[in-house]
Structure 1
């Protein structure tokens, strides 16, 4: 996957360590908005930190156990999608996303995650894509629902949060469900 159109003037493409300055700018615009929902290790605060995050995902890509792609709109990096993990042997991966507030409401994340799921389940042949989200993240849960994912359950008080421990919801889609959805025969 080199570059994929996500609609008018938006595209999904690999996000590499040499994009660190753009990535840091995106994080600066999104920081307060995404901080409650993403790992603190993801939200870099300086150029070296941004480079480190992107290098970590480049290394995961090289090991075939993860990856990261940016969403560019109007030539500006506004967010992205990632494979937090990918285990080809078990056929399971975890997908995630982030987006700055100015780019919300245009379906960019939904289309980007849809392309990522297509690649993972159809092209790579994995069996299950997981979506793990803070139970209070209604926008993330809405993406999971729009993509036909099913809620597997809740891990109660599994993560520390600024106001106490938080629940983590697990959503997933299986390859047969995804193929049926793409063929228009799914029940979602």
Structure 2
């Protein structure tokens, strides 16, 4: 038996091992990204619900229609529309969502419905942080129905939807020929 008889199976075996390592690495990165997104979320909020003020409601209990008071340093617990400014200005750090390097000024003036995230000056988004000012906001989306929830879903979907890479396609062809 010649040594070349072992070369092809050995190469296939090594390629399969490399492929498995790459797959595990990609899955690990996707899981880390999902965990990082979970850490962005706020834990509590000052809420006015049915005319009653609740000073510390768990953020996961917020529902669309709740009125939330945001102050400097607060993490925004849900996607919300700014309904009134308590201070003269409101600035929000939303780089975790949009990649913007500077805090963005917010206002109560409505914008067109299909405006991109950066153009929604009357909205604050879950996972962002108030860096200047106080305001009252109306909850419009919670959980997976927020902009950060959509990002979370897309990352999760991308991790689940594994398309064959060119390497995998060639391996499958090669394995088909060997069998």
Normalising by structure 2, report the TM-score. 0.24
* Structure in which a larger fraction of residues adopt helix: 2
Normalising by structure 1, report the TM-score. 0.23
* Structure in which a larger fraction of residues adopt strand: 1
- Structure with higher Rg: it is 2
Higher RCO by CA contacts (8 Å cutoff, separation 6 or greater): 2
